[in-house]
Structures are given as C-alpha cells and as structure tokens.
A and B are shown apart, each in its own frame.
Chain A
C-alpha cells in the first residue's frame, strides 16, 4: 500500500480544496432557468385552530406568482409526512401517530409550523407576500413541558394523553428481583436538555418539474437522498419514484437534522409542477431554529441496584421522551431502539428494564441528533455509575472495572437485545488514565484549591451501536426501511475508478476515505479514484449517512464490490496468462501467475476488459463494473473511555475544562486524521450540551432561544485542547473490521463533564447545561 494514501494513512481530504476556497456547490448555489423563490408563512402560535387564511393581499403584492395553503396540497392527494418506524407499546398496540400534513390545514401545533407558502419572482417579493398573508387563529392552550405532557390538554384528536406509545424493553420481574436483593440503590432524576442542531448550511430545496418528460428534480440538503425520494414517492405521493430524481450536492453538516423529510422540500417539488417553474427555498437561521427537528429532551428516573462490594445487579429506567408536535421521520426509534438497547453500557449488569413514554407537546418535532438516543443512554448509565461509586465510597474507576464485560465474554448478549461482538473496555480505560495523568490529579486539585478554585474529575465509559442492522431484524422491530448499503465500482478503460455509493457525505470526508479503501485494495493511485454520492440518478438505492454507518456499512459494500472487480479481473487475466482464474493472484495492483514472469498491472486488465480481444465473450461479458449491496449481520460497537477535569470559579460559577481525554476503540481505522476530526467535533457538541446549549420554550410555547443571541453554540475558545487516542478491537463481522466514529464524541462527553462538575461541587446532580449561573446557584444552595 501507499504509506500516504492507503488504508491507515492520514491522507489530506480531497474535498477540502473546494470547501475552503468557496467552490463547494451547495443547494443554494444551484440556480436554474426560470427559477422562482419561496417563503413559508409560519405559525406565530404554539397551538391554534386555523379559522381562515387570507391570501388575497399577498396575491396583490408585485411579483407574487401564487400563494398556496395546505388545503390545496390535500386536495391534490398529497399525503402526510410519515414516521418511518412503528414502535409497539407494552400493550401490543402500535404507536399512535397524529396526522401530519406538510402544510398545516386545520390546526397549527408549534411556533414555526408552516401554514402557507408564497412563490414569487424574487426572494424580496416572496418575503413581502409572506408578510401580507394573514390568518384568523383561535388560540388554544399550549402544552410545552415534557414531564407533564400526558396530563395536559390533549393536542391531537386521535392521541389520548398526548402519548404516542409506552414502550418497554428487558425483563421487569428479573430486574425487580435484583432490586429486592440489592444492598444499595442509587437513583437519579435526570433531564436530558433539548438541543437545536444548527448545521452551518441551513436546509434548502430547489424543486423543478419538466413537463416534457414529466420528471421532477429535487436538489435538497438531505443526508439520504434515496430515502427522501422513496418517502416523497410512496408516502407523500408527490410523483412516481421513477419520475423523481433527488440530488443532495455538497451539504454543509447534518448531525441528523437532514435525515428527515420536511414540509419545505415537499412543498417546493409539488408546487413546481403547479406553476410550471422551478422553485427555490433556503431557510434563514431563524427558520432553522424554529423548524429543524430538535434533539434529546428526555425526563428520566433511573435507578441502579448494587451489592455492597459494588457489583451492578440491576438497572431500572423510566423515561418520558418529548416528540414535539408530530412524529418526525425516525423520531419514534430514537428513545427506544437507539436508547433502551444501550443501557447495558460496558457492564455485565444482569437485569435491565427500560420504559419509554413518548409524548407530544406544542414544540418543534424532535428526532435524531448526533448520537440519537445513545448519548441519552450513556448519560443515564454513566451518571448512575459515578454517583453509585461516590455513594458507596468507591473509586469510580474501580467500580467500573469490576463491572466491565470481560474480554473473554465476547460475543456478549446483553439483557437489552444487543449482542456485542468485541471490545476491551479495560484497555481503553487504562490508556485514558495514563493520558490523563491520573496520578498527578491530587496535586492539580490542591493547586486549584490554593488558587480559590474547585477542581473535579469525571469519567464516562460509553458504548455505541453503529450501523443499525441487520435489515431483517430492524424490519421486525418496526422499521420501514432496510438498513443495508449499496456500492458500484466502475473501472474506467484507463484503469481509473469511479465509485457510486449510497452513503452520503455532508462533512465526513467520504471522497477521501472511500478513495483510500479503493486505492489500497486495487493498488491504483489515490487520485485515480473518484467517489460519487448524493444523486438518486447516478447511484443505486442506498440508505444514506447517519448513525455512524458509512464506513461500516457503505465502506463494506464498496469492499464487496471490489471483491467482484478483482474476481472478474482474475478471469480476464487468466485468459491472458492462458491459465484458469484460480491460478491468478492479485496483490499490490498486479495480477500474477506462477507460470509467467510478466505480471499484469490493474490498468492493463481494465483496458483488456473494455477492448475484449483476448477472452471469449460467450463466457465473459465485456466491461469491468460491479455492484454490491451489503447488509450487516449485526451492529458495530465502538466504545471508549473519557476523562474530564474541570476547574470552577466559585465566585461566578464559570467552568473551565482543564483536561479532556478521549480514548476510543473504533476497530480498524482508514484515515486517523479524519477520525480524530470526527472525535473533536463530537466532543465539541457534547461539551456544548453539557455547558452551553439549551433549547428553551417559554410557557406559551414561544422559542426563547431562537437565535445565536440566546442559544449558546460552543466556540473554539469554549473548548480545551483535547487529548485523543485510540485502542483497537476490530469488528468481527464486517470485512474491514471497522466500527464507525461519527457520534462517539457527542455520546461519551456529556457524562464525563457533568461527573466532573458534580465531583467539584460535591453534589449529586446539576442539570445540563451547567451554565455559570446554574453552577453558582448550586454553590449558593450548598452554603
């Protein structure tokens, strides 16, 4: 392999030259002939009945072409925005989903919900038109609070107690029995704060309809354009699937929020056929705050049963998860199959029982956000474990060590459905302690105290389940889509390679990582590999990128297609060597045969494939292009140990992160630099959740944190230098031995930070975000 660009090399990212010189092509950069502009008219009320909508004055605004309301979509047969995962309640009933018209018709149920949209010749005219739309609302009592939603006013006609489902996982009786015989029970009431995603690029859509071919083209900011296409075709029924092409060009960050099918792209693609012209919409930042699916927002009661020696005996978790006003595309799966299933953490807790009530409120829909359920699960487990150690007077590291699933126990079946394939949790912990200079901690603490500061230390040992799989299992559990990935490897005549992947890169660097994989396996130059993604017109049906699945599932699909390329190459080479393909070897870019001292370079075989002179065409088709679909047999299980030290100024409550160590086990790594970048970004978001970010609705349902004036995104100067390292236990069930790294940082870090803060303050709990005021008030209450 090539030491600079092969597997394991920190190759510089191919895509960065265009991104950092302003040459990226994002949806809003794309302009088409005859384009019009669209502005959505959004509800100013958290909950109201729409009595009437007046569009006449908007139509009178110069430049306005049409004003559409939800009734027109309904009349045209446009369906609801569906939720793609049906979760079954304890009582065996499927979840209850309210109607979710893309554009509100009878009721609005959160501030920012669109109830009309204006299409105009210019953006300015569309804005003027939107301002001129007025509606007569009957304002209704808003439900805002997660914890009390089930006993509040009923939001949707068909949803009693505002409850979508009441789900359970695990053995209740065994867990209750474990608690009955426990020496000690640690309990915590935990709030997992609501977050607002804030990708750099706001959501956008450009829809156009070509009357001549009756085809639709939708450019949009999607993490999974094929899913967007199938939902718009099959469920929303905008167009037949074959007549709809969805293109996600460069996308500037997603973090989950761009997985979902939203009202806006539905509206512009539908309306483009109505007016016979392309329509563009791009959210402004205020709209992003109001209408992107938010994340987290759990209220949880969690209990851990232990023996007096610290052995974890049982875990009981009861969570209320806020879904917002409607069920967004994958929302139902987040606080259930991506949450309850992770409650074993890194530990051999024998009995676990998890209940999740999903409730509706008059707030923006809540769905997957970086980590999606797994940060919430890790937070529950790791806050409990640390608190239990303190209550038992044990070293929190030691308590973890005695409960770790030992290395000889893999594959390990947890009590909450998952079977971990491999891991070495003690190894990550040992490395993290060494990097954190654990031995020097007491001296650092003394120095902080001498300076009038409070110092604390916290740990977090997370487990993650990536690459949701296998399809047949998740389909049984209620998923509406399979979770395989597609790949096509097209070898060009000259031996260069074009790869089509169903994965989608919106910052992850697939053009580089996947090129490294192909270049390494085929022994061809890194620059000879071109990776294409994000276009349903060019690649086979694929499921896109989320859940840290791209390398484990998408990469494995490419690897499988490469196997086929090499196999066919051997057949061609065999004819050239005048032998059989089982006699041909392929290594370092050369096909060789023991009976010949002239190995054939890959490019020569590629040429021979397309200039088919040497092999019989009735036995072997011309060309060298192969496809593969890869469906994993299990999730992958990245895991790691994080250590955080904080120093708090008691006079103001300011928390300084004095040290942050992350040791992750991602199995094999293709590009360490990109992986480290992913870890950095994840930790930044995790620290953001712990210290800064909080999506707050006031009691009447107005978003109080609707801009950067009020919503604190983490910035570089809020963050310390991270000490990042890795251990490796390769995944046992995918060909690359890879696990995925995109979410780990966001999953592992909040608990480490909050464990450190509670340690420094000597209190049981502080709610996130631990803002200076919150910390100061905690200190005041203690004195």
Chain B
C-alpha cells in the first residue's frame, strides 16, 4: 500500500473535522473493503480517519420497539442480537468469521457494495440511518452503485430498525466470494409488508409488486406469475440478469416460507 497518515479519532466531531481538514481523506471502521483496496493500491488516500475507537459508536440497544445498532457494531455483534432474528441471521452469514469479527454495519452501508447483505435489511425493514447531521430514511439511503445519500465527510452514527412482527432473509451466495448474488429480506412491519432486494441491481431496492401481492396473501404462491423486470439488473461473470431475476423470486419465496414456518 501507499503511505498515508493514520488519524485516530476519539469523537465524531474530531473525526469529522479531521476529515474536513484533509484534501484526501477516507474513514475506516472495520476496514474490510478499504484495507484490501489499499493493499492492492486501488486506493491511495492521504489520510485515513479511524472511527473504530469512538466511545459509544458501537452500542447496540433496544427500546420502544426499535433496535438501535451503533455504526461500528461488528457483524458478529449484530449476529448475537435477538430482537430481529432475521437481521441476526443475515449478519451471521456475511463473509467469513474474520470479516464478521472486524466488519461493521456503518462501514458496509457507507460503502454500499451492490452485493452486500445489510442494504437488504435497511430497505426491507424500513430502517432509519442516523448520521452526525441528520436522519435518512432507508428508502432514500442507497442511490446507485457504491453511491449513497451521504454527503462528503458525513458519518453514520447508528441505524434504527423498527422491530417487525416477523421477517426473514434468504440469500443466494456467490460460490466464490459468498457475497449475495441475490438476497431478499421480507418483513411484516407496522407500515405494511416490505421486500428489500440486494445483489440484483446497482444498489438495494424494494419490490413493490411483491409487497402488494404479499400484503393480501403472505404465502410463497402469492408471488407466482409476478414478472420481475431484469432490464436494469447486474449481468456479469457470476450471474446473468435473467438468472438474477429468477433468484429474486426464488429467494423471496424462501424468505416467505421461513417467515410463515
């Protein structure tokens, strides 16, 4: 890797001001994407601002029907939670044990890899992403490939998940990387049925046609015959857009089957 300045932040404010003072800075939380990029010399920032030791930023708490997950909570920590079993299950299947012991929810969301698991949860559970300056609705957070609603320098502080009455996540993992080729979160929430999809497109999205069908009939067969438009889907070495479209339906059905089991 190229040389860079390592900046240990002890507070959100310090992290933000350090970032702002640099002409080329990145934040690091778990580093599960950034460190490989640095090692491969695909990223060469001047300053790396570390968020991982900021007090309270990794706190997980539950109150008033909301599970609040601090931005630097690790996947292995979320996997141990019990309020939303579908979310814990999702976290337990991210990457491998080493990744889960380092990777964080905030880092994953800010990076917005199209094949990451958490975006399906944020969209599918209708979460709210809190930052150092505002609250962003889950539906508004993911913008495009590796692009989010975050402004330059903005820091995710926590993610609030309203606890659904029931939810399930089904994932079809890439046999090589174990990232999601397609992952689908189906949830029954106070604001209705939500279906969040990751892996299929440039970023996570909701399947409104599935939501409508499942609202009236929460069963796998309710999804039969609903066409999935794959025209904007990813089409690459690992899966054609058409195969991904098939997986969106099959994973949604698996999630529904789990949820109703």
Contacts and interface: CB of A to CB of B under 8 A. Distances in A.
Interface of A: 127, 131, 286, 651-652, 691-692, 696, 704-705, 708-713, 718, 771-773, 776-777
A711 B253 CA distance: 29
B233 interface: no
8 contacts: A127-B41, A131-B41, A708-B176, A709-B177, A711-B176, A718-B175, A773-B238, A773-B240
B81 interface: no
B258 to A, nearest CB: 15
Interface string B142-180: 000000000000000000000000000000101111010
A777 B41 contact: no
B59 interface: no
Nearest to B237: A704
Contacts of B175: 691-692, 712, 718, 771-772
A696 B175 CA distance: 15
Given A131-B41, A651-B250, A652-B250, A773 B176 contact: no
Q: Which 3 A-B pairs have the closest CB atoms?
A: A712-B176, A712-B175, A709-B177
Nearest to B239: A773
Interface of B: 40-41, 172, 174-177, 179, 237-240, 243, 246-247, 250, 253
Contacts of A777: 243
Which label, helix, strand, loop or mixed, suits the secondary structure of the A interface?
loop
A580 to B, nearest CB: 68
Contacts of A652: 172, 246-247, 250
A326 B78 CA distance: 51
A116 B175 CA distance: 36
Contacts of A776: 243, 246
A710 B177 contact: yes
A708 B177 contact: yes
Contacts of B174: 712
Contacts of B238: 710, 773
Nearest to A698: B237
A773 B239 CA distance: 7
Instruction: Output the residue of B240, B243, B250, B253 with the most chain A CB within 10 A.
Output: B243
Nearest to A127: B41
A710 B177 CA distance: 7
Contacts of A651: 246, 250, 253
A705 B237 contact: yes
B237 A710 contact: yes
Contacts of B41: 127, 131
Contacts of A286: 40
Nearest to A711: B176
Nearest to B177: A709
Nearest to B3: A124
Nearest to B96: A715
A712 B175 CA distance: 6
Interface centre among B176, B177, B179 (most CB of A within 10 A): B176
B38 to A, nearest CB: 12
Given A286-B40, A651-B250, A773 B177 contact: no
Nearest to A773: B243
Contacts of A713: 176
Interface centre among B175, B237, B250 (most CB of A within 10 A): B175
A710 B250 contact: no
A112 B238 CA distance: 23
A704 to B, nearest CB: 6
Contacts of B40: 286
Nearest to A713: B176
A776 B246 CA distance: 10
Nearest to A653: B243
A543 to B, nearest CB: 36
Contacts of B237: 696, 704-705, 710
Nearest to A131: B41
A67 to B, nearest CB: 18
A705 B250 CA distance: 27
- Among A286, A773, A777, max chain B CB count under 10 A is at A773
Nearest to A692: B175
B225 to A, nearest CB: 15
B176 to A, nearest CB: 4
A600 B78 CA distance: 70
Given A651-B246, A652-B246, 16 more contacts: A127-B41, A131-B41, A651-B253, A652-B172, A652-B250, A691-B175, A692-B175, A709-B177, A710-B238, A712-B174, A712-B175, A713-B176, A772-B172, A772-B175, A773-B240, A773-B243
B247 A710 contact: no
Contacts of A692: 175-176
A652 B176 CA distance: 17
B247 to A, nearest CB: 7
A708 B250 CA distance: 26
B92 to A, nearest CB: 14
Contacts of B176: 692, 705, 708-713
A617 to B, nearest CB: 64
B241 to A, nearest CB: 11
A708 B40 CA distance: 14
A772 B253 CA distance: 18
A401 B53 CA distance: 69
Contacts of B239: 773
A286 B41 CA distance: 13
A696 B237 CA distance: 9
B1 to A, nearest CB: 8
Nearest to B246: A776
A24 B174 CA distance: 33
Contacts of B253: 651
A710 B179 CA distance: 10
Nearest to B41: A131
Could you say which of A709, A713, A718 has the most chain B C-beta atoms within 10 Å of its C-beta?
Answer: A709
Q: Which of B172, B174, B247 has the most CB of A within 10 A?
A: B247
Contacts of B240: 773
Contacts of B177: 708-710
B37 to A, nearest CB: 12
Contacts of B243: 773, 776-777
A651 B253 CA distance: 11
> Which of B40, B172, B174, B250 is packed against the most chain A CB atoms within 10 Å?
B250
A772 B240 CA distance: 12
A696 B177 CA distance: 16
Contacts of B246: 651-652, 776
A187 B250 CA distance: 36
Residue from A651, A692, A696 whose CB has the most chain B CB atoms within 10 Å:
A651
Contacts of A718: 175
B234 to A, nearest CB: 13
A651 to B, nearest CB: 5
A131 B238 CA distance: 31
Contacts of B179: 709
A704 B238 CA distance: 11
Nearest to B244: A773
Contacts of A691: 175
Contacts of A711: 176
Most buried by A among B40, B174, B246: B246
A301 to B, nearest CB: 27
